[in-house]
């Protein structure tokens, strides 16, 4: 009986050990399977961690930094301004400054027409810009910079150095006037542009959009959209002038330019001006006295009303002439008998 009990005890123990071994084997297989499944992820995490460590260690080295930023092609924007817009400076992480991202930032600058950014050897970043040409500045509701392509941009602080090289402009506020002015100025080289101090719209008897141009020498040039290129000869003529109180006039044909008495110094006999109710001379939007002009008939003679008085071209509240586009037809029909247009 004793032997039988020992045998039963031994059998139970062996059975328990066998069950435990089975479970241990299963756990090991499951663990191995889980490891095999996660092995690629663990490898990736290991590689990533290694790369991060290497990047961190590399970032501590002097060779990982931008050693210098070179800027070329700029005339109006300073190199510091360009670097600031791009968001790059010496000692930045070199490979963190990706060229196309720097180009994207720089292209948002209205004065930059095109830009090329590249990595160079020895930690150098090269920036080459092609700027639009400023041709003047003026004050609308705010200070603005006029560009050679006819566009207008706000005159912000970064452009304050620019206005030292371009003229101050008044008038020419209509879109077409601005376009024609910028187009005419774009034909001049930068040296001529920088020699101009001011440009004012100036009404002459034959041209309401003439230009009164003050040069930095102190002399005046009187011209228009079509003869502004004659400014290239201004210094020659000014040097030969015997009387610097005279103005230099540009002409569309014939001689390039000539010295004559300035329009504001010419005798004003037989010139009439519009006046207000108090007898004060009316002023145009450009500050000039509003000259009273008269209609002429188809033969070129001064048109008169029934009483024989010349018929003036009326002006509006801004002292700008309001010309009747059908004057000849209305005049011949007798609608100007009273001196003003009265339609039946």
Same domain, 248 and 181: yes
Name 344's Cβ contacts closer than 8 Å, sequence gap at least 6. 335
Same domain, 176 and 253: yes
Q: Of 104, 131, 158, which residue sits at a domain end? A: 131
In a domain, 341, yes or no: yes
pLDDT score recorded for residue 251: 78
The model's pTM is 0.59
pLDDT at 7 over 60: no
In a domain, 85, yes or no: yes
Give the integer Cα–Cα distance in Å for 275 and 231. 36
Q: Of 230, 262, 294, which residue sits at a domain end? A: 262
Same domain, 48 and 100: no
Same domain, 244 and 179: yes
Same domain, 123 and 39: no
In a domain, 122, yes or no: yes
Same domain, 56 and 83: no
Q: Which domain holds residue 79?
A: 63-131
Q: How do strand 247-250 and strand 257-260 relate by DSSP bridges?
A: antiparallel
> How many structural domains comprise the chain?
4
pLDDT score recorded for residue 20: 64
| Residues composing the chain | 344
In a domain, 34, yes or no: yes
In a domain, 138, yes or no: no
Same domain, 256 and 323: no
Per-residue pLDDT tens over the stretch 223-232 = 999 889 888 8
In a domain, 9, yes or no: no
Give a three-class secondary structure readout of the chain.
CHHHHHHHHHHHHHHHHHHHHHHHHHHHHHHHHHHHHHHHHHHHHHHHHHHHHHHHHHHCCHHHECCEEEEECCCCCCHHHHHHHHCCCCCCEHHHCCHHHHHHHHCCCCCEEEEEEEECHHHEEEEEEEECCEEEEEECCCEEEEECCCCEEECCHHHCCHHHCCCEEECCCCHHHHHHHHHHHHCCCHHHHHCEEEEEEEEECCEEEEEEEEECCCCEEEECHHHHHHHHHHHHHHHHCCCCCCEEEECCCCCCEEEECCHHHCCCCCCCECECCCCCECECCCCCECECCECECCCCCECECCCCCECECCECCCCCECCCCCHHHHHHCCCCCCCCCCCC
Per-residue pLDDT tens over the stretch 80-121 = 899 999 988 887 787 788 898 999 999 999 899 999 999 888
The 68-72 sheet, strands edge to edge: 68-72, 124-131, 112-119
Residue 224 backbone zone (phi > 0: left; psi -120 to 50: alpha; other: beta): beta
Same domain, 36 and 91: no
In a domain, 99, yes or no: yes
pLDDT score recorded for residue 22: 56
pLDDT score recorded for residue 67: 85
Residue among 259, 214, 223, 260 nearest 239 (CA): 259
Give the domain CATH number at 110. 3.10.20.310
Residue 181: CB atoms within 10 Å:
23
Give the domain CATH number at 246. 3.40.50
pLDDT score recorded for residue 1: 46
In a domain, 74, yes or no: yes
Per-residue pLDDT tens over the stretch 32-74 = 665 556 566 656 676 776 666 555 544 555 566 888 899 999 9
Per-residue pLDDT tens over the stretch 116-139 = 999 888 888 999 999 999 999 999
Same domain, 249 and 276: no
* Stronger pLDDT, 5 or 243, i.e. the higher one: 243
């Amino acid at each position: 009986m004793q032997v039988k009990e020992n045998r039963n005890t031994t059998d139970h123990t062996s059975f328990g050990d066998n069950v435990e071994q089975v479970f241990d084997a299963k756990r090991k297989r499951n663990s191995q399977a889980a490891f095999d499944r996660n092995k690629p992820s663990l490898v990736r995490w290991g590689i990533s961690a290694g790369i991060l460590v290497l990047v961190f260690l590399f970032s501590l080295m002097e060779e990982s930094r931008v050693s210098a930023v070179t800027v070329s092609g700029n005339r109006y924007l300073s190199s510091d301004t360009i670097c600031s817009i791009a968001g790059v400076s010496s000692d930045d992480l070199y490979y963190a400054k990706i060229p196309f991202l720097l180009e994207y930032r720089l292209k948002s600058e209205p004065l930059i027409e095109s830009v090329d950014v590249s990595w160079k050897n020895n930690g150098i970043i090269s920036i080459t810009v092609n700027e639009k040409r400023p041709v003047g500045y003026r004050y609308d509701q705010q200070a603005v910079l006029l560009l050679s392509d006819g566009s207008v941009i706000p005159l912000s602080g970064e452009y304050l150095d620019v206005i030292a090289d371009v003229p101050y402009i008044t008038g020419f506020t209509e879109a077409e006037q601005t376009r024609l002015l910028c187009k005419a100025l774009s034909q001049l080289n930068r040296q001529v542009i920088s020699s101009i101090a001011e440009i004012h719209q100036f009404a002459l008897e034959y041209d309401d959009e003439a230009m009164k141009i003050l040069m930095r020498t102190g002399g005046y040039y009187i011209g228009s959209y079509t003869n502004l290129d004659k400014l290239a000869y201004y210094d020659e003529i000014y040097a030969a002038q015997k009387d610097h109180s005279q103005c230099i006039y540009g002409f569309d044909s014939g001689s390039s330019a000539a010295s004559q008495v300035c329009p504001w110094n010419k005798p004003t006999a037989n010139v009439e001006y519009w006046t207000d109710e108090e007898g004060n001379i009316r002023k145009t939007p450009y500050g000039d006295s509003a000259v009273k002009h008269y209609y002429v008939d188809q033969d070129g003679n001064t048109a008169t009303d029934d009483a024989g008085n010349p018929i003036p071209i009326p002006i509006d509240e801004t002292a700008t002439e309001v010309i009747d586009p059908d004057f000849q037809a209305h005049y011949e029909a007798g609608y100007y008998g009273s001196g003003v247009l009265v339609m039946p």
